[in-house]
């Protein structure tokens, strides 16, 4: 009985989906606008970061419309608010795709929100552009990752600290917020550092809860760990709001960047805007974009942004550039495919190349990640970053880390005939599992 | 004659040494010009070394400017200038004479980039140059730098500095810096043993750090002495570590107390489950932000007073909002805790979103006044000023509140209403107004807590979220309706938390504390200090 019932529900839902698809096809053709979904939290804890991305998307869509739209049609933004509530992300994604019939969705910030919408995107076959640096260990056909994979941020950052310019660091504190991105990134970094000959006692890993605000014990532990006669650095994957009290405590306890530098992966111009940066000069961040990068493209982008947001104090940041790249790639792919049909656009995306804001080109690779330069910047007294190191060429996003035992044999290639996001080269089968 | 000749020779000699140590200005200019051609941080570092090697005090200014990122190259003629940003253009000054040159647009000059490594090189170089500075603080910084970067070549300059030093505390630091340099030199073991004794007396982390590297590189008696000194320092430090945990616990306790004390009134005294309590804290923090903005733009001289000015304003803003909530929502819901909880939760969301719409979702910068920045040492215990002031402030607020509750007519009315509402009403107390004012008081206290918390946390619309759970925990643990309970509850939770943190980590530590509280509430449902009385029993 039970089995029968579930078969019936399955058949029923399948027919609903089929009906939905049938209905959506003519609807899409008849519309005179192309709808683009924006799935960013406008309220709740993540609003601090995600609201800016919503505004950036609105600006990009405006600009494209001013240029004459896409395929002769105007673009129309559909904004929804998933309110920093992870299950609501999935609901809102479904609403965007099934009800509003959007051609593509730009959205999500946290990994958990991305994981929550993945099934929706593969079920309804639509496209998600994910603009934030993340832990890797994933490659989905319906998702394009325009943020950095660990090898486009974490590994070059550690390389810099190990170099002579970075201070030849020998001892490492991996400080993070307790959730999936820091845990996976730190696992990769630990394996990487050990492969580089760092002894286990020279690595200290510590996690704190979300929104942690009392950093006294942690900072004094860092001070203690750093007084072992070897050059020490902190690699911080501390997320969001917890950064401000962390940096304030560092400043107050007198930890100077010259003595123990902190390399952060989640601190950008936006986070620094809420801080007095004078005591933090010299602490570092690794990104693929800084507002201070001096290129004509970036100057124009910043000017456009200030005009659009009507506030010339608002900063730009790395995820905004990721949306800029992702959106332009999508526009190009739609033009190439001649349709907004997600299936065709997904295939057309691979190999598309657009200018980024740091004076080069970013290309969509077959693993749905993009090529980017990696920049290391030091915090300046004015709240901006000064680039102190830049990878000589572009770095290709590596979704399955080579430093984790579970994922080192996996590759991703969404081109036919392989069309697999987790192909295991050791066994020759599609369907490997990474570390999470 | 002989005497005269001797004097003449000495003078000549002096002149010669002067001119050789203070290399000619032309030489300095030649070296400084190399900044324009240096490529990458290491070449710039070489130029810094060359400059420092001249030993000329004149290089101090350009080097300090370089460390601050204020040294520029003019593109047109590759000349090096010290720059000062003024709006869109940069004022240029000659790096040696300080003479003002023509202003330049930002596009016409390039900043000489510095990074941490280079800044450290400059700091070390400046260390030797500033040993003779007039300001004792600068000499202390120099001694500190030289202690951390020992070099056998430093012994000479340090000896001179020690001989001429008049301040005892600076002299001690200089001697320690000299000892550190002796340890890396090839002086006899006897000197090194004396140096280890001197450094061992510092008994701080820097001394351990220094001795650890000595231990690794030396042998024989020196190594043994280093090992013994390290063991000695470590046992002292273990003692200080415990003291440090207690201090951190007290400090966390004071933050908890501040956040919870307003709630102790609204929830403890009135029995209203106010989920919007955190938002009152947030409003207080935003008031501080607005006050600082006004001061920054209109009265920059008053910045150190910004918090004092913000205190009454924050109290007023939060109290008025509290009054409005009580009159508008809560008074219809007395005796219906579940509805109150849901309604105040809704109010909290409205307040958050309102602040987000007005000020934007991003963090706002609230600066620390100078008297709240930095730290000082008590033995090996680093105490940060902002934490100390917050502790003092929390205790003051507590004392004032206790006075209001116990010694004023209004406090008497409040307590009467709490103990028996109907009886109080029969005695002529206007209970609805007492309710409203009590709620406003609780909210106002939360507002001034926000002024203090803006100094250690970020000022964002989510500020209150982080404190609401902790506040309820403190009030319930301490005993509902008892201010002393809140005090003891806050400090004991803070100290237990901070003692667990180094061993269990922050995440597990918090879980353990929660489990302990659950167990405690099972045993004593009314908390530490249970209120006795008929109305409470009912």
Shortest Cα distance, chain A CAs vs residue B393, angstroms:
18
Q: How far is B372 from B362, CA to CA, in rounded Å?
A: 24
Contact assignment for A274 to B363 by CB distance below 8 Å = yes
Tokens of A383: 């709240």
Any A CB within 8 A of B357 CB: no
What does DSSP say about strands A143-145 and A128-130: parallel, antiparallel, or unpaired?
Answer: parallel
- Separate counts of helices (H) and strands (E) for chain B: 21, 7
What does DSSP say about strands B375-378 and B381-384: parallel, antiparallel, or unpaired?
Answer: antiparallel
> Residues of B with CB below 8 A from A260's CB?
none
**Position A10 pLDDT exceeds 60:** no
Q: How far is A171 from A176, CA to CA, in rounded Å?
A: 16
What residues 362-381 of chain B have any CB closer than 8 A to a CB of chain A?
362-365, 367-368, 373-375
CA pseudo-torsion sign B303, B305, B309, B310: positive
| Residue whose C-alpha is closest to residue B120's, from A282, A236, A161 | A282
Q: Which among A51, A223, A251 has the least Cβ separation from residue B205?
A: A223
Q: Which among A44, A206, A276 has the least Cβ separation from residue B505?
A: A206
Q: Of the ranges A174-178, A378-382, B76-80, which is most confident?
A: A174-178
Contacts of B193 (CB under 8 A, 6+ apart): B221, B222, B225
Shortest Cα distance, chain B CAs vs residue A167, angstroms:
6
A91-122 exposure pattern, b = at least 16 Cβ within 10 A, e = fewer: ebbbbbbbeebbbbbbbbbbbebbbbbbebbe
Shortest Cα distance, chain B CAs vs residue A178, angstroms:
8
Spatial contact of A100 and A62, defined as CB atoms under 8 Å apart: no
**Alpha carbon B300 to chain centroid distance?**
22
Any A CB within 8 A of B457 CB: yes
A392-413 exposure pattern, b = at least 16 Cβ within 10 A, e = fewer: eebbebbbbbebbeebeebbbb
- Superfamily grouping for domain A2-149+296-374: Response regulator (3.40.50.2300)
**Alpha carbon B7 to chain centroid distance?**
57
Spatial contact of A240 and A270, defined as CB atoms under 8 Å apart: no
**Position B538 pLDDT exceeds 60:** no
Residues in chain A, total? 436
pLDDT at B26: 82
Q: How far is B228 from B2, CA to CA, in rounded Å?
A: 57
Q: What is the pLDDT of residues B95-121, one digit of tens each?
A: 888 888 888 887 888 888 888 888 888
Contact assignment for A380 to B510 by CB distance below 8 Å = no
pLDDT at B487: 94
Q: Is the ipTM of this complex over 0.85?
A: no
Contacts of B326 (CB under 8 A, 6+ apart): B435, B436, B439, B440
**Position A204 pLDDT exceeds 50:** yes
Spatial contact of A233 and A167, defined as CB atoms under 8 Å apart: yes
The pLDDT > 70 percentage for chain B reads 94
Any A CB within 8 A of B205 CB: yes
Any A CB within 8 A of B245 CB: yes
Q: Which among B113, B208, B510 has the least Cβ separation from residue A227?
A: B208
Contacts of A287 (CB under 8 A, 6+ apart): A133, A148, A153, A268, A317, A318, A374, A375, A377, A385
Q: What is the pLDDT of residues A249-275, one digit of tens each?
A: 888 888 888 889 999 998 888 888 777
Q: Which among B69, B251, B362 has the least Cβ separation from residue A270?
A: B362
How many Å is the maximal CA-CA distance in chain A?
A: 71
Residues in chain B, total? 538
> Residues of A with CB below 8 A from B216's CB?
229
Please give the radius of gyration of chain B, using alpha carbons only, rounded to the nearest integer. 32
What does DSSP say about strands B80-86 and B71-74: parallel, antiparallel, or unpaired?
Answer: antiparallel
Closest residue in chain B to residue A274, using alpha carbons only: B365
pLDDT at B126: 81
Q: Interhelix angle for B116-129 vs B40-53, to 10°?
A: 0
Query: Residue A6 class from Cβ within 10 Å (0-12 exposed, 13-18 middle, 19+ buried)?
Result: exposed
- What residues does each domain of chain A span? 2-149+296-374
CA pseudo-torsion sign B406, B408, B412, B415: negative
User: Which residues of chain B does CATH 1.10.3470 include?
Assistant: 241-537
> Residues of A with CB below 8 A from B244's CB?
220
**Position B82 pLDDT exceeds 80:** yes
Q: What is the pLDDT of residues B153-174, one digit of tens each?
A: 888 888 888 888 888 888 888 8
Cis bond before residue A417 (omega within 30° of 0): yes
> Residues of A with CB below 8 A from B352's CB?
43
How many Å is the maximal CA-CA distance in chain B?
A: 113
Contacts of A171 (CB under 8 A, 6+ apart): A202, A203, A225, A226, A228, A230, A231, A232, A233
Contact assignment for B507 to A207 by CB distance below 8 Å = yes
Q: Tell me the pTM.
A: 0.82
Shortest Cα distance, chain A CAs vs residue B280, angstroms:
17
Distances (CA, A) of B527 to B69, B145, B537: 57, 52, 14
Shortest Cα distance, chain B CAs vs residue A140, angstroms:
31
Query: Is CATH 1.10.287 what the domain over B241-537 is classified as, yes or no?
Result: no
B414-437 exposure pattern, b = at least 16 Cβ within 10 A, e = fewer: bbbbbebbeebeeeebeeeebbbb
Shortest Cα distance, chain A CAs vs residue B265, angstroms:
25
Cβ count near B83 (within 10 Å):
25
Q: Which among A165, A218, A252 has the least Cβ separation from residue B373?
A: A252
pLDDT at B146: 84
pLDDT at B533: 54
Q: How far is A341 from A364, CA to CA, in rounded Å?
A: 18
Any A CB within 8 A of B20 CB: no
């Amino acid at each position: 009985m039970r089995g029968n019932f579930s078969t019936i529900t399955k058949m029923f839902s399948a027919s609903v989906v089929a009906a939905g698809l049938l209905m959506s096809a003519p609807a899409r053709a008849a519309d005179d606008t192309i709808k683009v979904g924006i799935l960013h939290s406008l309220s709740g804890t993540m609003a601090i970061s995600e609201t800016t991305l919503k505004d950036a998307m609105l600006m990009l869509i405006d600009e494209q419309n001013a240029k004459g739209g896409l395929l002769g049609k105007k673009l129309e933004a559909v904004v929804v608010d998933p309110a920093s509530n992870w299950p609501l992300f999935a609901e809102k994604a479904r609403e965007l795709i099934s009800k509003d019939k959007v051609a593509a969705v730009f959205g999500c910030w946290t990994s958990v929100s991305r994981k929550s919408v993945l099934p929706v995107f593969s079920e309804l076959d639509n496209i998600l552009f994910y603009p934030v640096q993340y832990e890797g260990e994933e490659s989905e056909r319906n998702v394009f990752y325009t943020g950095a994979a660990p090898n486009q941020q974490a590994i070059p950052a550690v390389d810099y600290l190990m170099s002579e310019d970075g201070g030849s660091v020998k001892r490492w504190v991996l400080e993070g917020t307790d959730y999936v991105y820091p845990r996976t990134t730190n696992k990769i970094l630990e394996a990487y550092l050990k492969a580089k000959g760092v002894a286990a006692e020279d690595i200290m890993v510590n996690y704190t809860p979300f929104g942690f605000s009392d950093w006294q014990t942690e900072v004094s532990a860092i001070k203690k760990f750093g007084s072992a006669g070897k050059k020490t650095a902190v690699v911080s994957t501390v997320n969001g709001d917890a950064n401000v009290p962390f940096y304030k405590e560092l400043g107050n306890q007198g930890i100077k960047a010259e003595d123990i530098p902190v390399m952060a992966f989640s601190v950008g111009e936006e986070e620094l805007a809420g801080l007095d940066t004078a005591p933090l000069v010299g602490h570092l961040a690794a990104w693929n974009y800084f507002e201070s990068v001096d290129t004509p493209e970036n100057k124009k982008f910043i000017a456009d942004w200030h005009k659009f947001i009507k506030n010339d104090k608002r900063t730009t940041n790395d995820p905004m550039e990721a949306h800029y790249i992702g959106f332009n790639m999508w526009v190009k792919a739609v033009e190439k495919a001649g349709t907004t049909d997600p299936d065709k656009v997904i295939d057309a995306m691979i190999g598309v190349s657009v200018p980024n804001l740091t004076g080069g080109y970013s290309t969509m690779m077959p693993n749905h990640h993009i090529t980017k330069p990696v920049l290391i910047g030091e915090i300046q007294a004015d709240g901006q970053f000064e680039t102190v190191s830049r990878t000589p060429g572009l770095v290709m996003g590596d979704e399955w880390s080579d430093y984790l035992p579970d994922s080192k044999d996996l590759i991703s290639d969404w081109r036919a005939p392989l069309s697999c996001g987790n192909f295991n080269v050791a066994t020759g089968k599609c369907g490997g599992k990474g570390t999470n | 004659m002989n005497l005269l000749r001797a004097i003449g020779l000495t003078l000549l000699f002096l002149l010669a040494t002067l001119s050789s140590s203070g290399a000619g200005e032309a030489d300095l200019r030649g070296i400084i010009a190399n900044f324009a051609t240096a490529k990458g941080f290491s070449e710039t570092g070489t130029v810094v070394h060359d400059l420092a090697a001249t030993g000329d005090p004149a290089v101090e200014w350009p080097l300090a400017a370089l460390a601050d990122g204020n040294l520029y190259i003019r593109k047109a003629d590759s000349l090096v200038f010290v720059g000062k940003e003024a709006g869109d253009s940069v004022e240029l000054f000659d790096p040696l004479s300080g003479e003002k040159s023509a202003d330049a647009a930002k596009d016409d000059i390039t900043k000489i980039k510095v990074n941490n490594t280079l800044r450290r090189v400059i700091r070390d170089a400046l260390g030797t140059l500033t040993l003779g500075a007039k300001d004792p603080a600068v000499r202390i910084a120099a001694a500190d730098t030289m202690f951390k970067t020992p070099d056998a070549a430093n012994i000479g300059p340090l000896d001179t500095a020690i001989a001429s030093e008049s301040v005892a505390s600076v002299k001690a630091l200089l001697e320690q810096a000299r000892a550190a340099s002796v340890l890396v030199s090839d002086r006899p073991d006897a000197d090194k043993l004396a140096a280890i004794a001197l450094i061992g007396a510092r008994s701080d982390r820097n001394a351990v750090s220094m001795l650890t590297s000595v231990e690794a590189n030396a042998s024989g008696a020196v190594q043994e002495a280093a090992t013994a000194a390290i063991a000695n320092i470590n046992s002292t430090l273990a003692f200080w570590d415990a003291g440090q945990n207690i201090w951190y616990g007290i400090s966390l306790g004071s933050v908890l107390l501040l956040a919870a004390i307003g709630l102790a009134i609204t929830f403890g005294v009135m029995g209203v489950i106010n989920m919007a309590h955190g938002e009152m804290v947030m409003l207080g923090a935003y008031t501080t932000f607005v006050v600082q903005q006004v001061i920054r733009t209109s009265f920059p001289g008053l910045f150190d007073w910004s918090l004092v000015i913000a205190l009454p304003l924050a109290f007023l803003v939060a109290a008025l909002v509290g009054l409005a909530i009580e009159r508008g929502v809560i008074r219809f819901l007395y005796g219906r805790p579940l509805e109150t909880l849901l309604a105040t939760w809704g109010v909290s969301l409205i307040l958050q979103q309102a602040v987000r719409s007005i000020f934007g979702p991003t963090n706002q910068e609230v600066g620390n006044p100078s008297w709240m920045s930095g730290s000082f040492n008590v033995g090996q215990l680093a105490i940060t000023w902002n934490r100390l002031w917050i502790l003092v402030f929390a205790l003051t607020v507590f004392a004032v509140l206790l006075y209001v509750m116990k010694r004023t007519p209004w406090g008497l009315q409040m307590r009467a209403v709490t103990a028996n509402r109907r009886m109080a009403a029969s005695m002529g107390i206007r209970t609805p107004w007492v309710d409203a004012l009590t709620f406003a008081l609780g909210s106002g206290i939360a507002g001034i807590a926000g002024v203090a918390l803006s100094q250690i946390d970020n000022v964002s619309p989510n500020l209150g979220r982080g404190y609401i759970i902790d506040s309820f925990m403190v009030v319930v643990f301490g005993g509902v309706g008892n201010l002393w309970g809140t005090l003891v509850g806050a400090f004991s939770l803070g100290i237990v938390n901070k003692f667990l943190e180094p061993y269990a980590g922050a995440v597990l530590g918090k879980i353990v504390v929660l489990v302990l509280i659950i167990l405690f509430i099972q045993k004593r449902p009314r908390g530490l200090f249970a209120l006795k009385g008929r109305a409470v029993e009912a």
